[in-house]
Amino acid sequence: MADVSRETSSSDDHIETATEIIQRIFSDGTAGVGSELAQTQAEQDEVNKSKFSHPSQTRYIAVANQKGGVGKTTTAVNISAALGEGGLNVLVIDMDPQGNASTALGVRHDEKSPSVYDVIIENTTMADVIQTCEDFPTIDVVPSNINLSGAEIELTQLNDPMHQLKDTLRTYMATVNKHYDYVIVDCPPSLGVLVINALCAVHEVLIPIQAEYYALEGLSQLVNTIKLVQESYNPDLAVSAMLLTMVDNRTILSKNVCAATKEHYPDLVLDTVISRSIKISESPSYRQSVIAYDPKGRGAVDYRKAALEINNRSEDVIRLLY
Ligand SMILES: Nc1ncnc2c1ncn2[C@@H]1O[C@H](COP(=O)(O)OP(=O)(O)OP(=O)(O)O)[C@@H](O)[C@H]1O
Ligand SMILES: [Mg+2]
């Protein structure tokens, strides 16, 4: 066991960083929690050195996967929070009647609050329903509430049911006195009209994949739907990234799923994976992203790294897809 009693590493003037102290204390690798802490701190230091840059034009990203509970909302919220924390302007659109993204970003979304339902069904302008996230004031949110659950049927009675979100979003973007770096849409777990509205309004799809046994099942169905939307409605649409979520590196299954997904989609799967973390699952009950709730923890560090990776790819993605 390393000498944990020393306060400083040597007699020279070098002042140890927090990472170095943790690494020194746990350098013999006997303490799992300690070495995990050291790694998180080292990664945090690395992320802190990197800066988020403004993409040369607004990136429109839908976070989608028809499978329930794979981390879509957690990803939409925390990637947005990391980008917002990094000084970028983000518009988050909650397209799920569950309103989970609205909860996690701390905006009002009771039945009486103006929401995305009013925007796509009642022609209310987006500016009239947008609320700003308190934790990260560069994040604006179009909230959702239970009213949206009836919208699937109501949309089909409209003239152009698939383009309601796109039309209203484009009008807002053309008139608002502000530049957004990212528009991020959280989709519900289906391949219905609401999701197709989201896919028509964006250029990119970010697919969160839960690191578990059935992870890749259903993915081909999602990819087919994206192709269909591309052929019929939105030729500019493509999957730009996949993100492995709820990864537990202690299990062989989790490692195998990550390896298999990377093998199938080598260019799309982000290098960063999101570890399973209690703080991530706790944060929505405090109406917060994990970036705000536990800024130094594993979950926040993972999502910052993922957001940086997405941000660093901006110019390549824009050249290819916009
Ligand atoms: N990395 C993680 N570690 C621990 N818990 C997580 C993690 N990511 C998500 N969760 C939890 O898993 C559950 C499902 O996550 P989330 O709501 O983001 O999935 P979803 O795909 O949006 O679900 P739905 O399909 O219902 O919209 C939530 O309780 C969330 O807090
Ligand atoms: Mg969700």
Residue 218 beta carbon below 6 angstroms from any ligand 1 atom? no
Q: Is residue 1 part of a domain?
A: no
10 pLDDT higher than 50: no
Q: Give the domain range for residue 18.
A: 14-49
DSSP letter at 16 equals: P
Residue 29 beta carbon below 6 angstroms from any ligand 1 atom? no
Q: What pLDDT shows up at residue 50? A: 82
Classify residue 72 by burial, with Cβ atoms within 10 Å: 0-12, 13-18, 19+.
buried
Q: What number does the ligand 1 atom closest to the CA of 189 have?
A: 25
Asked if residue 218 and residue 70 are part of one domain, the reply reads: yes
Asked if residue 285 and residue 187 are part of one domain, the reply reads: yes
- Cα–Cα distances (Å) from 295 to 123, 256, 281, in that order, read 38, 29, 14
Asked if residue 296 and residue 186 are part of one domain, the reply reads: yes
Q: What pLDDT shows up at residue 272? A: 97
Residue pLDDT, tens place only, 275-292 = 999 999 999 999 999 999
Asked if residue 305 and residue 183 are part of one domain, the reply reads: yes
Ligand nearest to the CA of 74: 1
Q: What number does the ligand 1 atom closest to the CA of 278 have?
A: 4
What mean pLDDT do residues 39-43 have? 83
Q: What pLDDT shows up at residue 129? A: 98
Tokens 């994040």, residue?
Answer: 139
Q: Is residue 4 part of a domain?
A: no
Q: What pLDDT shows up at residue 218? A: 82
Q: What number does the ligand 1 atom closest to the CA of 302 have?
A: 1
- Percent of the residues in the chain that have a pLDDT greater than 70, as a whole number: 89
Asked if residue 64 and residue 37 are part of one domain, the reply reads: no
Asked if residue 70 and residue 25 are part of one domain, the reply reads: no
Q: What pLDDT shows up at residue 74? A: 98
Read off the tokens for 63. 């976070």
Asked if residue 19 and residue 68 are part of one domain, the reply reads: no
264 pLDDT higher than 60: yes
Specify the number of domains making up the chain: 2
Asked if residue 115 and residue 33 are part of one domain, the reply reads: no
* Helix residue spans in 8-158 (DSSP H): 18-25, 32-49, 72-85, 100-104, 116-121, 151-156
Q: What pLDDT shows up at residue 154? A: 96
CA 99 / ligand 2 centre spacing (Å): 8
Q: Is residue 111 part of a domain?
A: yes
Q: What pLDDT shows up at residue 5? A: 38
Q: What angle do CA 87, 310, 50 make, to 5 degrees?
A: 55
What gap in Å lies between CA 287 and CA 292, rounded to an integer?
10
Asked if residue 63 and residue 36 are part of one domain, the reply reads: no
Q: What pLDDT shows up at residue 19? A: 60
Q: What pLDDT shows up at residue 33? A: 64
Q: What pLDDT shows up at residue 49? A: 79
Residue owning the nearest CA to atom 7 of ligand 1: 246
CATH code of 311's domain: 3.40.50.300
Residue owning the nearest CA to atom 11 of ligand 1: 281
Residue 248 beta carbon below 6 angstroms from any ligand 1 atom? no
What gap in Å lies between CA 29 and CA 18, rounded to an integer?
17
Residue 74 beta carbon below 6 angstroms from any ligand 1 atom? yes
Asked if residue 186 and residue 38 are part of one domain, the reply reads: no
Ligand nearest to the CA of 298: 1
9 pLDDT higher than 90: no
